[in-house]
Amino acid sequence: MVKILFLGDVVGEPGRMAACRTAELYLKRGEADFVVANGENAAAGRGITPKLAIELMRSGIAVITSGDHIWDQKEIFPYLASEPRLLRPVNYPAGTPGAGSIVLDTAQGPIGVLNVQCRTFMNNQLENPFLAASLEVEHLRKETPVIIVDVHGEATSEKIAMGRHLDGSVSLVVGTHTHVQTADERIFPKGTAFLCDAGMCGPEDSVLGRDPDAVVERFRTSLPMKFPIASGPVIACGVLVEVDPENGRSTLIRRVMERYGAP
């Protein structure tokens, strides 16, 4: 069996610390063979820079996925063209910098990772994620049956539907974007593991990683407000799956939640 750890949205410096420490810990203890993390909020909560992507990968994170904040840091545009291990959603139009999927050779065999973004309640309306995901999975399965899918979206229904849509053709469909870990982990009938949202890596005493007082004030007054990254102890949330490398079917899924002191 190949053991794959997926970590939820990395929020700012505290989230980077939690994600890096968790990746290193699970790899060292042999609890994971391969680690993926969503890093689209790694740069002070908005986007990711080349430097921060390198920091995450040096900890052992093999692939970084993203979502609607992938373009928030301008220096990421040329970096995406040169670093295939940093993904942007596959359903951007043709000609967009970067790629939405990758297959990496590992000691446990080739492993594919796919990043796709939902459309319901999302600001940037992209190509149909279901059609784009199906087409990309068809290509990936020519190289490996072990495929991890990060479905970045707001609506739980759309993410669950994606899991059902891809059941039997990928190993794991895991949601990102809402920063709140859900408790609906399961393995669908045809062998695809699913979790509606992996949660986040970031300050635990927060609102989605941000200072709670600032967020409450925004909701209370409706006035423009900056949302600094919260302080205090941090949490790393995600999901761990065990996959049969011969057929790509998952045999185990469990949620991950690791707590650390303040950075």
Contact, 133 vs 105, CB < 8 A?
Answer: no
Instruction: Report CA Rg, the chain.
Output: 17
Name the strands in the sheet holding 101-104, side by side, starting at the edge strand that comes first in the sequence: 101-104, 111-117, 147-152, 172-176, 193-195, 186-187
- The H-or-E segment that residue 28 falls in is helix 12-29
Active site (catalytic) residues: 69
Sort 85 into a burial class: Cβ within 10 Å, 0-12 / 13-18 / 19+: middle
Task: Kindly state the percentage of the chain with pLDDT values over 70.
Answer: 100
- Give CA–CA dist 71/157, Å, rounded: 26
pLDDT band at 123; cut points 50, 70, 90 = confident
Q: What percent of the chain has pLDDT over 90?
A: 96
177-229 per-position pLDDT tens digit: 999 999 999 999 999 999 999 999 999 999 999 999 999 999 999 999 899 99
Closest alpha carbon to 45 in 200, 196, 256, 205 = 200
Residue 246: Cβ within 10 Å count: 9
Tell me what pLDDT residue 31 has: 98
Nearest to 34 by CA among 184, 171, 182: 171
Q: Distance between CA 150 and CA 244 in Å, rounded?
A: 19
Strand runs (DSSP E) across the chain, as ranges? 2-7, 9-10, 34-38, 63-65, 101-104, 111-117, 147-152, 172-176, 186-187, 193-195, 200-203, 234-243, 250-260
Distance CA 227, CA 163 (A): 32
Q: What angle is formed at CA 15 by the lines to CA 9 and CA 20, rounded to 5 degrees?
A: 100
Q: Which amino acid is at 41?
A: N
CATH number of 2-260: 3.60.21.10
pLDDT digits (tens, 9 = 90+) for 19-57: 999 999 999 999 999 999 999 999 987 899 999 999 999
Predicted confidence band at 128 (pLDDT cuts at 50, 70, 90)? very high
Residue 36 to residue 196: CA distance in whole angstroms: 16
Domain boundaries, the chain: 2-260
Task: Give the pLDDT score at 125.
Answer: 79
